Each structure stands twice: as C-alpha cells, then as structure tokens.
Amino acid sequence: MHSRPEPSLHFLSYALAIVGYMTLMLTMPLTSAIASSLQVKTGTLHLGISLLYFLFSLSAILLSMLSDIFGAYRILKYAQLTSIAGLALLANAQEVTVFYLGCVLVGSGTGCYSSIGRSVMLRHSHNPEHIKKRTAILSLAIIVAPILSFTLARSMIPSNWRYAYYIMMIIELTTLFFSQYALRGDYQPLTNIRCVLHVWLKYISTRSCLLNMLSTGVGYALILQTIIGNFHNILKPHTNLTYLQVNLLAFGLSVFYIIGIATFRKVINSPRLPFTRIILTSLLPVSLLLYIFHHSSPTATLIALYGTCYIIGFLNPLSSSFAMAEIKEGQGMASALLTFSFAFTSAMYSFIQGYFEIPIQQFLPLSLGFSFFALFTISILLKKYQF
C-alpha cells in the first residue's frame, strides 16, 4: 500500500480535530432553545450533555485502541456514521429521550476523531520538533472548533435551532468522504490487543506522560466546557449585548488562546519552560479573583476570561507536546488518553453543574479554582521531581 502525501494527512488530522470538537460542543450553546422547545429544564439537558462527554471519553479510548488494531481507515468510517446518525436524532428530537439517545450516538462516534487525527499526525512527524510545532497547530484547531460551533449555534437560534444540527451533518459527511480518500492510501503499521495493552500500561505508568496528559485535559475542560460552552450565559447578566456582539467577543477567546500558542512556539526550545509553566499557572488566581469581585462588570469579566484563555493557550500545547514527544508506538492509544482526560473532566463538570443546578456565575469560579489547584500541583511535581 502506498502512502498519501503528508500535507493531505496533516490537513486531515486538523480537520478531524475541528469537526470532532465542533460536533461535541454544538449542543451547549443550544441548551436554552432546546429546553424551551422540548419543555424541560436546562438541568435535564445538562445530564444528557454529561452523558455525551462521558461517551466521548470512552469512545476516545476504545475506538482509538481498535484503530491501532484494525486500522484508522475502517474504524473512523463507522465512528463517523454513528455520529451522523446521532446528529440526525438531535435535529429531529421531539422528546428528551430522543435527545439523550442522540447525545449517546454523537459521543460514541466523535470521541475518536481527534485521537485518530493526532495519531496520523504523529506517524508522519519525523522528529520531536515537528511534533511540538504540529501539536501547537492541533491545539489551535481544537480551540477554534468550539468558537465556530458556538457561532453556528447562536446564528441558527433565531431561525430554528434544528438547522444547526443539519448543517453539522453536512460538514460531517464532507469530512467522511475526505477522510476515506486520505486514509485509503496511508500505510499504518497495525498491532494486536496484547501490544496495545502493553503500550497503554507503559504510558499510564510513565509519570511525566500521565501528568502532562492530565494537565492538558484540565486545561481543555476549563476552556471548552466551562468558558466557551457557557459563554453566552456568562455574559447573560449584561443583557444589552446583541447576538453579533456576543459572537465577536467569543471570537476574542480564540484570539487570546492563539496568542498563548504563539508565545509557546517562541520559547519552545527554552530550558526554562518548567519554571515558565509555574509562573503562568500562578496567574490563574488573578483571573479568579477578578471575576469573583467584579463579575458585574463586563470589562472585568472579559479580562478574566481572555487572560485565562491566554494562559491555557500556552500551557496546553506545552503539556500535550511533552506528553507525546517520546511516543514511538501505539499512537492512537496515546492520543486517546489526551482526549479521555479532557472529556472525562468535562463530563464531571457538566454532571455537577446540571445535577446540582449550579448557575454558571457560581460554577465558573469553582471550575477556575479547581483548574488552578490541579495545574499548579502538576507543574510543581514536574519541576521538583524532573519526571
């Protein structure tokens, strides 16, 4: 089997990340509209969304493991068809049971997208420097995706929230055709279940790899699930903002995240990166305190959110690139652990927020506080013990 030109495969890895996270994050901005249409509480929908994240995390592990055994070409096709079926159910849901089933199918399908995309990227990256640079681009793709999803969802609400799912189905179908074209000519060394389990145990027992994966998961959960997923409701007290203004402000989140990525790329080879990680993580309480004491001010709220996006924009590619730099085998499984870390944390966030019916104005400081504690502890451990 011949190999496809690398540019098309790298483009596929970025496209899978964007489409996967667009599909995952599409429902959060639509919760109020869906709750009104189905005549249920938003907390009821949050339980479905937590199920979506949970299945997303399991799919990341199971389907990515199967992609190492049977090949990404075959596994990704079935995953994409499952996700498209879930989107069809969500678009036509008339009761909450159908909504839950759609969440199950979408989560079960999309969980492996970014993991398979990342494994494709790793197979065609020839040295650690290529991995760090392409990981930064992949991190950019992942953060742009929910902004695109947020904009799509909010723009469809005035017409009909169901149109957002129909448009996402068209995007998914286009990605399905392209991925089958690109992967058909990609040579992928396959393995067996015993080797996959051996690699899995190796990664979770390597403390530096595991801690960096946890750091990446916590960072993505804070930005994607808590901030971007709830961005409209965070700004809701400032009712004088129009849909267009909210969309533009949401775009600002990705801009500051991108600036964080660009900063990381500038110092990517610095020997002081571990110390820089500690310093930047220590700035998260500034955003936390600013929001707690000045959340009634839209300017202070945006400064706190944009500052957080910049910090996580630096930390996420740092953590994920160091987690993946030494991986030589079982790329699908290793990539899945990154996705699982994010999705499982997001599932817990969404479940807690929905089950206890915590308003986002109270949940945001909780999420920020937990993220600071986890990220700061990880940065100290990595620096002190030089894992």
The answer to whether 284 and 371 are in contact (CB under 8 A) is yes
What is the spatial distance between Cα 131 and Cα 73, in angstroms, rounded to a whole number?
Answer: 22
The answer to whether 378 and 251 are in contact (CB under 8 A) is no
55 — phi, psi (to 5°)? -65, -35
What is the spatial distance between Cα 307 and Cα 31, in angstroms, rounded to a whole number?
Answer: 26
Q: pLDDT tens digit string along 42-75? A: 889 988 999 999 999 999 989 988 888 888 999 9
Structure tokens at 57: 């995390």
What is the spatial distance between Cα 112 and Cα 63, in angstroms, rounded to a whole number?
Answer: 6
Domains of the chain, CATH where assigned: 6-385 (1.20.1250.20)
pLDDT at 104: 97
Q: pLDDT tens digit string along 168-201? A: 999 999 999 999 999 987 878 887 888 777 777 8
Mean pLDDT, rounded, for 214-243: 88
- Reduce the DSSP state of residue 149 to 3 states and report it: helix
Q: pLDDT tens digit string along 102-126? A: 999 999 999 999 889 888 887 877 6
* DSSP structure class, residue 228: I
The answer to whether 100 and 48 are in contact (CB under 8 A) is yes
pLDDT at 354: 86
**pLDDT > 90 in the chain, percent:** 58
pLDDT at 325: 67
